[in-house]
Amino acid sequence: MLNIHREHGNHVKTFLLTKDLAGEQRGETNPLRIAYCAFHGAGRRAVPRLLKEVGFPPENVKRITEGGLDSLDGLFPSFRSDPGHEQQPDPGDPRAARTAVEAFKKQVAKEDHSWKYEDMDLLIGTDPDADRCGVVVKVPADQRQLYGGQDWVLLPADSMWALLLWYRLNREIQEHGHVLEPEKKFVVLSHTTSDSIVLLARKHGIGVIKTWVGFAALAAAVRDVWEHRPLPHLIEGRESLQSPLCHPFVCESQDMEGGRRSINIAAMEQSNGYSILGGPPPDRRSLGVGGHVRDKDGTLAALLTAEVAAWAKRQGTTLYELIDKYVFLDPAVGLFVNFYEPDPIDGEYPGIEGDRKKMEILRRTLGFFQFASTGDLEIAGRKVTSAVIYRTGKYDKIYKPTYAFQFPDEGVRFYFGDELNHLTVRPSGTGNSLRFHIQLHAPVTESNLIEKKRELFAAAKAMANHLREILKAPRSL
């Protein structure tokens, strides 16, 4: 078993772009300081060990043990578990991030002769099976007003994955003067993941595939590319707008025609999943060449995030500031605010009555889809200009379609003016819950970035509040 762990660790390390990360860290007078939270899960040993093995000094990687957060306990005792109000040890949930931050503050306050919370550069969290990764960073003083004065923020995975893509492309540009063989490369992301990634990839000539939610869909799309199966030309997931069902796993693609592309350089989901699948494998049982497992992996994401943070600190900056400068302030990309809320906020609507509640909300959503088609719908003062239903039929055995109702398993999307501003209501097919996704976009300059952030943050929250009001989906049960 130890050999398996060693092989896995050595494989993950091959994705680092800094040739002598250990040497750099040893020579730093102000090294990167990382807090890590396992959220009662499997990463508790793997992630700190990997970070230390690649060169981050043991004294600068602190496991958060306060309150039992480091215990391997599937009952997740640090989180509520009462029916209907279950909280998740989810590294992408701001409330879980707060639990980790507060625990870390208590822990280091008890320690003598050690660095404190104020010295922390980032906090990395992985979920209990360590396949998802969340990142907490300090907020620059001039932007803390956006977070109620709070000096830390949980980075949306949308922003973190965009930065990871930028960093890896930028390192190629620094070393070679250009992105290597962009015509062979592509990214894959779910349709609820930020279009900042799409615009960044296209700027560098990288192909794009959007799929439905779930890494199985992302991996299936990559497999089809590897096996030279032609991707269909789709409009909102359909071969034509008259098609009753969407493609089973692909939503859309950009510049993937002709079979030129074969190397996946990033696979990303809004729900904090990340991987790199690489090029075509030598056989069906092997990893992609230069790639990782065909699933999300929080340990890989944690290691790559730490590398970017270490690089940023050597440049005298931070992850937060890099995102502003190289993603949002890039004229080819612009500011994206991607806002997400589950419905209900905790757990799911309980029992048989819960399923009825979910279906009622969906029927109201489909009713508003009809309003949108007539141009008579506004959400929080923003006019809906078009709408689309995403339906693959994958849950038709559970929710049998009728003339009056077909289960929109990948959601209903409402557009506001263009394809970059939209709101999606997406139901769970296996539980009594839904997901609300809002994406807002605006071009920005350095002089108006903070004000535009404030404006779009407020607009997204207002839209979520209005959506809950009209769908009769209050935050609490």
* One-letter amino acid for residue 414 of the chain: F
Quick: pLDDT tens for 195-222: 999 999 999 999 999 999 999 999 999 9
Question: Does 387 score more than 90 pLDDT?
Answer: yes
pLDDT score at 375: 84
- CATH T-level topology, domain 160-296: Alpha-D-Glucose-1,6-Bisphosphate; Chain A, domain 3 (3.40.120)
**How far, in Å, are 49, 120, 123, 400 from residue 152 at the CA level?**
25, 10, 10, 46
Alpha helices for 258-376 (secondary structure H): 298-314, 319-323, 351-373
pLDDT score at 28: 82
The per-residue pLDDT of the chain, averaged, comes to 94
The upper half-sphere exposure of residue 120, i.e. CA atoms within 13 Å in the direction of its Cβ, equals: 29
pLDDT score at 2: 61
Q: What's the full length of the chain, in residues?
A: 477
- The residues near 176 (Cβ < 8 Å, ≥ 6 apart) are none
Between CA 383 and CA 406 the distance in angstroms is 26
pLDDT score at 241: 79
pLDDT score at 84: 63
CATH architecture of 335-471: 2-Layer Sandwich (3.30)
Question: Does 384 score more than 90 pLDDT?
Answer: yes
Question: Does 246 score more than 60 pLDDT?
Answer: yes
pLDDT score at 412: 98
- What's the pTM value of the predicted model, to 2 decimals? 0.96
Strands 185-190 and 152-155: unpaired
Cβ proximity of 17 and 61 under 8 Å:
no
Q: At what angle do helices 157-176 and 195-203 cross, to 10 degrees?
A: 10
For 164, phi and psi rounded to 5 degrees?
Answer: -60, -40
Task: Name the band, by pLDDT with cuts 50, 70 and 90, for residue 6.
Answer: confident
Ranges for all domains in the chain classified under CATH 3.40.120.10: 2-155
User: Going along 393-460, which residue ranges are E strands?
Assistant: 411-416, 418-427, 434-442
Ranges for all domains in the chain classified under CATH 3.30.310: 335-471
Segment 14-35 shows an average pLDDT of 88
CATH architecture of 2-155: 3-Layer(aba) Sandwich (3.40)
Question: Does 476 score more than 90 pLDDT?
Answer: no
